[in-house]
Amino acid sequence: MFKQAFTIVSLGAFFFILCSMSNCKEDMTLGPLTTVHGKVTDVITGQGVPNISFQIKKDYSKPGYIDGGTGVSLYDTVSTQADGTYTLTFVPKGTGFFSLEYKDLGHNLAAYALTNYINIGADNTLDFKVYQSIRLGVNVHNTTDHGRKSFMFSYVSNAPYYYDSGYLMNFVTDKSFTYTVPHLSKITLISNFNNGYSATQYNILTDTLVFRQSFNTGSKDTTINITNL
């Protein structure tokens, strides 16, 4: 036990000395002036989206860490204007991998970009797209089990990244669901009556009877009532 404790203390002292010799602190040497600008637009409407906040993110290697340790720094923020545009000029600190990240999208936005990488010392154009979402409450009323013992409810959207695979439950007469879905888009609600999963085929439902109902979402919170006859 004493030998093990001595080894741990010795390793700790070694790492401390190594770190002190190689300067484990983040490199904060100022780099060349760099500009990032672009526009955030709504995928559905094509309009610019204001008040979206970004920040510069730097991923870097920590010198002196024999295990190849890495660190992250966040600094320099910017928000989009009324037309969805933004411009940020900053001086990078140290070396590493720089990118432009969303600071806070809130609960009603889903976003993506072709790239968010920043070339240091250059003028970067980075455009982003967002899906603005609403909270959709769905009340399902089943008037019959259609001779099936199980039920699954799900939805799909014409907007990428929005879907729900549903979950299998014993047959229900009434059930409520809440989803986050894109506004101003087509949503298809799917009611699946079945007799559970196949014993021989993985993830395949047996004796299925499926009902689909489609509608277009608005721009505000919505409640939908579904009745399966």
> Which has the closest alpha carbon to 56: 73, 69, 68?
73
CATH no. for 29-126:
2.60.40.1120
DSSP assignment, residue 195?
-
What digits encode the pLDDT tens for the residues 61-102? 876 555 457 788 998 999 999 999 999 999 999 889 999 998
When computed from its CA atoms, the radius of gyration of the chain, rounded to whole angstroms, is: 26
Tokens of 106: 């809130």
What digits encode the pLDDT tens for the residues 121-174? 999 999 998 888 889 999 999 999 999 999 999 999 988 778 999 999 999 999
CB of 37 closer than 8 Å to CB of 83 = no
CB of 87 closer than 8 Å to CB of 123 = no
Give the per-residue pLDDT at 22. 44
3-state secondary structure of 215: strand
Q: Where are the domains of the chain?
A: 29-126, 134-228
Write the CB contacts of 84 (distance below 8 Å, at least 6 apart in sequence).
39, 40, 41, 47, 48, 49, 50, 52
Question: Would the CATH topology of 29-126 be identical to that of 134-228?
Answer: yes
Q: Which residue has the higher pLDDT, 6 or 173?
A: 173
How buried is residue 176: exposed, middle or buried, by Cβ count under 10 Å (0-12/13-18/19+)?
Answer: exposed
What Cα–Cα distance (Å) separates residue 100 from each residue in 37, 93, 127, 144, 204? 10, 15, 11, 52, 42
CB of 95 closer than 8 Å to CB of 67 = no
CATH number for 134-228: choose from 2.60.40, 1.10.540, 3.30.1360, 1.10.3470: 2.60.40
Tokens of 105: 């999208």
pLDDT-above-70 percentage for the chain: 82
